[in-house]
Chains A and B, each alone.
Chain A
Amino acid sequence: MTANEPEITPELVAEHGLKPEEYQRLLALIGRPPTFTELGIFSAMWNEHCSYKSSKIHLRSLPTEAPWVIQGPGENAGVIDIGDGLAVVFKMESHNHPSYIEPYQGAATGVGGILRDVFTMGARPIACLDLLRFGDPAHANTRHLVAGVVAGIGGYGNSFGVPTVGGSVGFHRRYDGNCLVNAMAVGLADADKIFYAKATGVGKPIVYLGSKTGRDGIHGATMASAEFGADAQEKRPTVQVGDPFSEKLLLEACLEIMAKGCVIAIQDMGAAGLTSSAVEMGAKGDLGVTLDLDLVPCREEGMSAYEMMLSESQERMLMVLKPEKEAQAEAIFRKWGLDFAVVGTTTASKRFIVRHRGAVMADLPIKELGDEAPVYDRPYVETPKQAIVQAADVVPPMGIADALLRLIGSPDLCCKRWVWEQYDHVILGNTVQRPGGDAAVVRVGEGPKALALTTDVTPRYCEADPVEGGKQAVAEAWRNLTAVGARPLALTDNLNFGNPERPETMGQLVGCVRGIGQACTALDFPIVSGNVSLYNETNGRAILPTPAIGGVGLLDDFTKSATLAFKAAEEAVLLLGESIGWLGQSLYLRDICGREDGAPPPVDLAAERRNGDFVRALIGQALVTAVHDVSDGGLLVALAEMAMASGIGARLEAAPFSAHSFWFGEEQGRYVVTTPAAAAQGIVARARTAGVPVRLIGITGGDALTPAGDRPIFVVKLRECFESWFPAYMGGGSP
C-alpha cells in the first residue's frame, strides 16, 4: 500500500528504538508488518518519553486529588481552583537531552513547549520558572552549556512576554554528560473555560494551526528516550528550532478563538508532533481520525508522510473546531498571520488513517496506539541506607566565619543574579517578589490574590536515600511557599533519572516516587501534572536522581507576603523547628570537608506540617517581620542571606552544641523569623503551646553577623563573596 518506502528490517526496527519483543507486540496488534510510516508512528508513541512505560505503574500511586483540583495528570497541564471563578493551569517539563546537544535551541524550545501546554488549555501564561542542573564548573563543557541554556530560556520567554520569576541552578560532576533543563509555566484561566484534548462528534473538521511543518526535530522524542554515547553531538538535527514570535501570535490567536467559542478540542504539537496530538485527541474521545497530509502546510517541498508525522517543528496546534465557526476561526488566524488548514476529520471508526498523495500511508487502531503501549514493571533494587554521620566525627577544617564565606561564595549557594537578570522578570507588571527569595510571588490580575511559585529538589539527598530525598523535595517546596505566607495548593513534578533498565536506577525512581507520595499525602499537596525524563546517562554514567518539584501556593493578599530581608535593627531572631546538628549530606560536609557521604536529614512530615502551619499563621497575623526557611547550607547560611538582602547584621547567641553542626547542619522543617523585640516572648509562648520547638538565636543590628565568641562576619564581605562567583566564572575565571 505504499511506494518508495524502505523495507522493514530488524535493523530499521532497532533504529526506531523498539525492542524485538515490542516489535512482536506491534505485529500482534495490527496483524501484519507495518509500513515505514506506521513504524515511525509506533516508535513515536511507544518511546519512553511519550508512553511513560517504565514509570507508569509507580506514578499511579501518587496522590492527585483535592477539593481544589479541577484537572489532575493526563492532560496538557494540571488545573486548580483558586476561587473568584479563576483557575491556575501549570506544569513542568524537561528538555534535557536537546539542551545538552544544542543548549540555546534546546532550552528555548523547552520553554516554548511548556508555554504551549498551558495556553492550549485556555490559560494566559503569567509566569515561568526554570530548574537547571549543570556539570562540574571545571568541566570543559559546563560554561558553554550554562551560557547557551540561560540565553535560550531568556531568548524565548522574554520575546514571548512572560516573566521568568524563579527557579534554581546547581552544579555537580554527575551532570557532566547530561545537563537538566526543567521549565515550568503557570497560567491563569476562567475556571469554567478550560479546554481539553478530548475530541467529540463525528465528521468534525480537524484544523492545523500555527507554523509550517519542516524537517526539524524528527525523532526528537525517541532521541530523548535513549542514553548518550560519544556521538551525542551527531544528534543535533533532532533538536527543534524555536520561534517565540510565532508562539506569541499563536497564543493570542488561540485565546481569541477560544473566547469566541470556536473550539471543541485542542492539543499542541509537542513531542512526536502531528502523530501524538492527533492520536491523543481521537483516543480520548473514542473517535477515529483521518488525516490528509497533502493539506498540511509545509516549510519544505517533497516531505514524506513519515517526515510529516514525526516532525517536531515548533509553534503548531491541532484543533477540532465547531464546523459553523470555522470561517470565524480562520479569519482570526489570518489576522495574526498564521497558517490555518483543515487537514482531517473525526470518524466513528476508531482508526487512525493517514493519507498522502493518494495512498493510505497508515491505518492503525487509534486506542491501542496509546493504551496498548508496553508497560514495564522493571526490576529494581532499593538503594542501600548510608550510615548517619556524627558531628563529633567531623573535624572542622576551618573556623565558622571562613566556612560561611566559602559556602556563600560556592557555585551552588552563590547569587544567581547573572542568570535571572537575563530573564525579563517584571513584564506584565505583577511580580511582587522577584527572584532571590524563598518563592516568587506573582499577583493575580489586579489582586488582592497572588500566587507563590517555587521549584525545588536536593539531588544529593535523593542519591543517598531516594525515599527521604523524595519527601524532602516536596517538603522544601511546601516550606518555600509557606515562608512567603502562601497556602501550598498543588505541585507538578519532573522526574529526571538515568537508565531505568538498570535496577539501581529504577530503585532510585521507585524510592523517590514513594517519598514524594508520602509527603504529598501528609502535606495535602497533590500532584496535578508532571513529566518523566529517563536515560539521562552518558557512557554508562547516570545523573544524580533529580525529582524536581514545582509548587504553587495561594496568598489571599499580596501586600501581606513575607520576605527574607531583615527589616530593622534590634529585632529578635527566632529559630523555629528542631536543631540537632545533622551534617550527613550537608553542603558543609561536601564543600568544606570534601566528603559526600552519610544519610541525608530525615523529613518528619508531621513536624513539617505543624511548623509550617505555625509560621503561616504568624505571617497572616503580621506578627513577624522577616521569614526565611533553613535549607541548603544550614542555619548560618540562611541568616547570611537575610543579612545580605537587607544590609543589616545580627549578634548571635553561642551555639548550644558543636558550633559547626549547629550553624551548618541541614535538619529539615526549620524557619528563621524576626519580630520586634517586645513581641518575641509572645511568639515563643505561642510556639510552645503549638508544640513547635523555638529558640531565640540573636538580635538584628550592626553591619556583621557575629556568633558569640567568634569574629564578626561583615555583610559587605558576605555580599562580595555571594555576588562574585557567577560573573567571574562566566567571564572565564577559574571555577
Chain B
Amino acid sequence: MRSAVLVFPGINRERDMARALRLVSGRETAMVWHTDKALPAGTDLVVVPGGFSYGDYLRCGAIAARAPVMDVVRRFAAGGGLVLGVCNGFQILCEAGLLPGVLMRNAALKFICRDVFLKVERSGSPFTRGYNAGQVIRVPVAHGEGNYVADAQTIERLEGEGRVLFRYVSPQGSLDPAWNVNGATNAIAGIVNESGNVLGMMPHPENHVEPELGVTDGRGLFAGLVHHFKQAA
C-alpha cells in the first residue's frame, strides 16, 4: 500500500500517522506539502492527519480545505481513490465538501483527550475490513471540536445507507450518552461519503498500533487497508 500524508502548516499528528502506516504496511509514507499540485505516482491512500491546520483560526479546517493540494485530493477521490481524514483531517474533509456535515465544539465545551470505545458498525468497507461488524475497539480522542452535526435529512441518509462506520459506545458496546464523548449526533465518530471511498473520523487509530504501548485496536484499520490493496493487486 502506497500512502501519502498531507502536511498543512499547523498539522501535528503527521508523524504519528506515518509511523502507524509504516509499522502496519511495512512501507514508508510520502509526505505531501500543502502547496503541491500532484500526488506521488501510484498513491493508493491519501491521509489527511490530525493537528491544528492554520491554527484552527477562522474555523477548524476551513483554510486547509482551500489549499492547492485539496484540488488534487478532490480529483483523486472522484476517481475512486481512498482518502482517510482523522480529527483535523475529518474537519478538513467536511470543509472541503468531500464529506457532509460539520464538527461543532464538544458538548462540554472543553478539549478532551482520553481513550474512547467505538463500535465498528460494519466490516464491508475497505476501512473496516480489519474488524468484525459489531466489534468494540478502544482508541484515543484528542479534540475540542468533534461534535458531529448535520441536518436531519443528511443524518437519515447516512444511517439509511450504512455510512456511519464508527460510533461512540460503552465498553460493552451499547449506545449511552455517558460514553458519547463529544455529544455527536447519533454518537457518530466516523462516516464515509456516498461512494464509500472517503472516511472521516475523530478518534486516532494511529496512536493505538503498538503492543508495547498497551492497546493495538487501531491496527485493524490500517491492516484492513493493506489487505484491501493486496487483494486488489
Contacts and interface: CB of A to CB of B under 8 A. Distances in A.
The list of the 7 closest CB pairs from A to B, nearest first, reads A161-B12, A245-B55, A159-B52, A424-B142, A429-B16, A424-B113, A426-B140
Interface string B1-45: 000000001101101100110000000000000000000000000
B38 to A, nearest CB: 18
B12 A426 contact: no
Nearest to B55: A245
A444 to B, nearest CB: 13
Contacts of A245: 9-10, 52, 54-57
B111 to A, nearest CB: 5
Contacts of B144: 158
A158 B111 contact: yes
Contact of A422 (B10, B16, B19, B113): B113
B52 A422 contact: no
Tell me what chain B mostly uses at the interface: helix, strand, loop, or mixed.
Answer: mixed
Given A158-B111, A244-B55, A429-B19, 7 more contacts: A160-B12, A161-B52, A248-B9, A249-B9, A423-B113, A426-B142, A432-B213
A569 B142 CA distance: 34
Given A158-B142, A427-B142, A248 B113 contact: no
A421 interface: yes
B15 A428 contact: yes
Tier of interface size on chain A: 20 to 34
Contacts of B207: 426-427, 429
Contacts of A155: 111
Nearest to B114: A421
Contacts of A421: 110, 112-114
B8 to A, nearest CB: 11
Interface in B197-218: 204, 206-207, 210, 212-213
A299 to B, nearest CB: 16
Contacts of B213: 429, 431-432, 443
B220 interface: no
28 contacts: A151-B111, A158-B142, A159-B10, A159-B56, A161-B13, A161-B51, A245-B9, A245-B57, A246-B55, A248-B9, A248-B12, A248-B52, A249-B10, A336-B9, A337-B9, A421-B112, A423-B113, A424-B111, A424-B113, A426-B113, A426-B142, A426-B207, A427-B12, A427-B16, A427-B207, A429-B213, A443-B213, A447-B212
Interface in B38-93: 51-52, 54-57
Given A249-B9, A429-B19, A422 B51 contact: no
A154 interface: yes
Contacts of A336: 9
Contacts of A151: 110-111
A559 B212 contact: yes
Interface string B99-112: 00000000000111
Interface of A: 151, 154-155, 158-161, 243-246, 248-249, 336-337, 420-429, 431-432, 443, 447, 558-559
Contacts of B111: 151, 154-155, 158, 422-424
Contacts of B56: 159, 245
A349 to B, nearest CB: 40
B113 A244 contact: no
Nearest to B206: A429
Contacts of B52: 158-159, 161, 244-245, 248
Interface string B110-131: 1111100000000000000000
B10 A426 contact: no
Interface in B136-153: 140, 142, 144
Contacts of A422: 110-113
Contacts of A159: 10, 12, 52, 55-56
B64 to A, nearest CB: 12
Contacts of B51: 161
B10 to A, nearest CB: 5
